[in-house]
Amino acid sequence: MPCHVRKDDQVMITAGKYRGVTGTVVRVLHDAERVVVHSAQIDGIKKNLKPTRINPQGGQVEVDRSFHISNVSPVVDGKPTRVRFQKKADGSKVRVAARNGAELHVLRKARKSK
């Protein structure tokens, strides 16, 4: 089933500590039902790295925070919106913002006629 957010979408966090913060989706984790969001306003998670040949020093690295997919919404005109999926007459399938009807992304291109 298609997901309401995709990589490189502008999203707003709708619940939790970071409610109201907008950011960009870096990655969608379908199995875990989570999205990784990058924003200057969101604190990253610090991970401890063991020393390796590539990184002999080891140390701490800050990585982007992930959120459950139900706690983010795509942003259109600065406001969060729900998403609908529409099939067009030419056979293409698109994601459409429920707020104003704007097309967000083409999921499937039009089929060639024989």
Domain presence at residue 110: no
Sheet strands side by side (includes 65-68) = 65-68, 34-38, 22-29, 10-13, 72-76, 79-80
Q: Kindly give the confidence (pLDDT) of every residue in the chain, 114 residues in length, as a single tens digit, with 9 standing for 90 and above.
A: 568 899 999 999 999 999 999 999 999 999 999 999 999 999 889 999 999 999 999 999 999 999 999 999 999 999 999 999 998 888 888 899 998 888 887 777 877 766
Structural domain that includes position 67: 10-80
Domain presence at residue 5: no
Q: What is the pLDDT of residue 113?
A: 65
Give which of 46, 43, 30, 37 is closest to 13, Cα–Cα. 37
Domain presence at residue 2: no
Between CA 71 and CA 37 the distance in angstroms is 11
Domain presence at residue 109: no
Distances (CA, A) of 7 to 17, 38, 43, 86, 88: 22, 11, 20, 20, 23
CATH number at residue 68: 2.30.30
Q: What is the pLDDT of residue 1?
A: 56
| Single-letter amino acid, residue 97 | A
Between CA 96 and CA 86 the distance in angstroms is 7
Domain presence at residue 37: yes
Q: What is the pLDDT of residue 39?
A: 92
* Counted domains in the chain: 1
Between CA 95 and CA 106 the distance in angstroms is 6
Q: What is the pLDDT of residue 89?
A: 86
Domain presence at residue 91: no
Domain presence at residue 33: yes
Q: What is the pLDDT of residue 101?
A: 84
